[in-house]
Amino acid sequence: MFPTLAAILDNPSINYKGVAISFLIGNFTLNAYLNYREYKFHDKKEKTPGVLKNAIDAETFEKSKGYTRDNLKMDMFRQAVSLIRDVARLKCDYYPHFWNVAHAAVRKLSSLPFVGKFLVVNTISQSVMFFALNFTVSTIISWVTSYIHTFHLEERWGFNKYTHAKFAKDKLKEFLVLQVVLAPLVYLFVRILTVFGDSFIFYAMTFALVAELFVQTIIPNFILPFLYKLYPLEEGPLRKEIEALAKKNGFPVSQLLVMEGSVITSHSNAFMVGLPWCKRIVLFDTLIEQSSIPEIVAILGHEIGHWKLNHIPQMIFRDQISHALTFITFSVFAHNESLFRSFGFSQGISPLIALILVSYLTWPIDIVNKLQNNLLIRRNEYQADKFASDLGYTNEIASGLIRLDKKNLTNTTNDWLYALYNVTHPNLVERLTAVGYDPSKAETEEKNFEGSEKIIESVAG
């Protein structure tokens, strides 16, 4: 698409591996600086913000700051592990060596009596094998940091409900599901890039859109039931209120489900899955236990707002623009022999490997894309809050957000620069201010919640 630019960039004097390592270090340094700012922001002594003065006591406010600081330290540990992993991969020519391992594995499998009838040794099959092996290595590394986060940080703050056996079982299930789902998608993607050559962009974007819709279809029907215990929300006041809200707004809810999240965590949440015309509402059992019926309905009013205001199609469209930029950038480097040799490859390689290598060089583009994505999501969150408020749930959405943040020890404020780069959702103070929350009503809302606890307990079973 850009032959002149591609020719200029195919220059043996450009040390692409060095550029990639510099970008990795630059990304780590930027995030370390932002995390330091956020850590210092939450390390200073300050009073509870005015809008929360009657809603969150000083002890809970300080606990949320402590939890935030611990998460920031954990995040820096993760990023340090990722930096060491990625730099080691580039320095040790991990990708060329692993590409050869994948080739040997495919040849070995093709020699087996039964498998050999179906498996053809070519770039596409080798790419799928490379993905499977590389994904396995990356997953095992991520399990280490996930284990530390779950059994050290979350355990320390009283959120972890995992046993070691269940943790191992769930991680293995997640790994198997992702392998089964992603391997065919990788096969189709590499095939598209191989078959259509330089004119692949339109077909790759179409595939990305179809793949996204496919994933949205299988998540509620197959993946969620496989990974988590789900059961229908029982008949009662909560179900009636949710159904009435959905009917009033024309929301196409197909199922109301409860996720047994309490066996793994004390955190609470609610979300919707499925295609725009067939949605499932999923409530954590911890949310039902911790919140009042009006608060839960208000939170779902926020989620329905995302659907009603077409935020989901907007995000899909934004994803398509991001995919287009990625594929255009890739097309510039797709035949760059200097790039491949710089990373240790002696000859032409799979489009999958080329895409991975190019991803190391797109850090400046990634920054712009991330900032734009954050701004769009934050705008959508404000709009969804306003939608719930306009339905008459101003106080309920406010008290629901407050209760979620209190129970989850979510940080209520942020350093502005850290938030700009890393935070997709407005913080609690920003959201309460935007909906016009009156802090003088906090005590009244708390009394209303206490009076409804018995009703919630009966709904939760």
CATH number of the domain at 275, please: 3.30.2010.10
pLDDT of 169: 95
Between the alpha carbon of residue 432 and those of residues 50, 184, 396, the distances in Å are 11, 44, 11
For the record, the structure tokens of 373 come out as: 């994505």
Q: Name the β-bridge partners of 265.
A: 160
- Give the integer Cα–Cα distance in Å for 34 and 430: 20
- Give the integer Cα–Cα distance in Å for 14 and 166: 49
Asked if the structure places residue 166 within a domain, the reply is: no
Asked if the structure places residue 242 within a domain, the reply is: yes
Cite the active site residues: 303, 385
Between the alpha carbon of residue 337 and those of residues 250, 325, 373, the distances in Å are 55, 21, 33
pLDDT of 217: 83
Q: Tokens 């606890």 correspond to what residue? A: 453
Asked if the structure places residue 178 within a domain, the reply is: no
> Which residue ranges make up the annotated binding site?
302, 306, 381
Q: Name the β-bridge partners of 255.
A: 280
Whether 201 and 327 have beta carbons less than 8 Å apart is answered as yes
Asked if the structure places residue 259 within a domain, the reply is: yes
> Which residue ranges make up the annotated binding site for Zn(2+)?
302, 306, 381
Q: Residue 301 half-sphere exposure, CB side, CA atoms within 13 Å?
A: 27
Asked if the structure places residue 272 within a domain, the reply is: yes
Asked if the structure places residue 253 within a domain, the reply is: yes
Asked if the structure places residue 359 within a domain, the reply is: no
pLDDT of 447: 53
Divide the 461 residues of the chain into consecutive groups of 10 and give the mean pLDDT of each group.
Answer: 83 95 98 98 90 89 96 97 97 94 93 82 92 95 96 95 95 94 93 89 93 85 86 93 94 90 87 79 91 94 94 92 92 91 85 93 94 96 96 93 93 95 95 88 54 43 38
Three-state SS for the chain is CCHHHHHHHCCCCCCHHHHHHHHHHHHHHHHHHHHHHHHHHHHCCCCCCHHHCCCCCHHHHHHHHHHHHHHHHHHHHHHHHHHHHHHHHHHCCHHHHHHHHHHHHHHHHHCCCCHHHCCCCCHHHHHHHHHHHHHHHHHHHHHHHHHHHHHHHHHHCCCECCCHHHHHHHHHHHHHHHHHHHHHHHHHHHHHHHHHHHHHHHHHHHHHHHHHHHHHHHHHHHHHHHHCCEEECCCCHHHHHHHHHHHHCCCCEEEEEEECHHHCECCCCEEEEEECCEEEEEEEHHHHHHCCHHHHHHHHHHHHHHHHCCHHHHHHHHHHHHHHHHHHHHHHHCCCHHHHHHCCCCCCCCHHHHHHHHHCCCHHHHHHHHHHHHHHHHHHHHHHHHHHHHHHHHHHHHHHHHHHHHHHCCCCCCCHHHHHHHCCCCCHHHHHHHCCCCHHHHHHHHHHHHHHHHHHHHHHC
Of the candidates 331, 302, 190, the residue with the CA atom closest to the CA atom of residue 242 = 302
pTM: 0.89
Q: How many domains does the chain have?
A: 1
Range of the domain at 279: 230-290
Of the candidates 364, 426, 412, 417, the residue with the CA atom closest to the CA atom of residue 34 = 417
- Give the integer Cα–Cα distance in Å for 297 and 397: 8
- Give the integer Cα–Cα distance in Å for 124 and 56: 56
pLDDT of 2: 73
pLDDT of 444: 53
pLDDT of 147: 97
List, in order, residues 6 or more apart from 118 with CB less than 8 Å away.
none
Q: Give the angle 454-456-457 at the CA atoms, nearest 5°.
A: 65
Asked if the structure places residue 277 within a domain, the reply is: yes
Of the candidates 330, 323, 329, 322, the residue with the CA atom closest to the CA atom of residue 351 = 330
